[in-house]
């Protein structure tokens, strides 16, 4: 049994270092879609960021916005697990923590987008109760209510 620590941290440096470290673990690589430094700045300022640490090292990260009080909805903008620790239930544990925190923030819905070719992520979202809503270009949209 692995001992995971999940904590919240909006530190720009920590977010940026993690995203650079896992850039190529994203499908497609994160830097092909966004300017990683600017994205990290946006996450630091506006999102709730959760890190999973294993033996003192960040091995997973999730960032979500829970600020639409009118519609009571949130948006999971990023979730990733380092390639070398995948398959150990870390993504599942992190997703459960995201869902809990979203509910605690008073949100009733979680939206997310995922690259259509990232079948591991799609399977995780379906397992967690998300339902497919739409697809556009190469992305699929999911919702959890």
In whole angstroms, how far apart are CA 66 and each of 88, 105, 145?
A: 27, 7, 14
Its pTM stands at 0.93
Residue-range domain boundaries for the chain: 4-144
Residue 109, pLDDT score: 97
Note the pLDDT tens digit of each residue in 105-133. 999 999 999 998 898 899 999 999 999 99
Q: Which CATH architecture has domain 4-144?
A: 3-Layer(aba) Sandwich (3.40)
Give the SS3 label for residue 105: coil
């Amino acid at each position: 049994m692995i001992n995971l620590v999940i904590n919240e941290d909006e530190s720009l440096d920590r977010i940026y270092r993690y995203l650079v470290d896992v850039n190529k673990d994203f499908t497609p690589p994160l830097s092909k879609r966004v300017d990683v430094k600017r994205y990290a700045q946006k996450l630091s300022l506006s999102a709730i960021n959760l890190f999973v640490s294993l033996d003192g090292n960040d091995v997973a990260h999730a960032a979500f916005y829970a600020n639409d009080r009118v519609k009571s909805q949130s948006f999971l903008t990023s979730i990733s697990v380092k390639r070398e620790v995948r398959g150990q239930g870390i993504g599942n544990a992190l997703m459960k923590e995201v869902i809990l925190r979203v509910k605690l923030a008073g949100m009733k819905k979680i939206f997310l987008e995922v690259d259509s070719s990232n079948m591991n992520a799609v399977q995780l979202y379906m397992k967690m109760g998300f339902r497919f809503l739409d697809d556009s270009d190469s992305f699929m949209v999911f919702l959890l209510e």
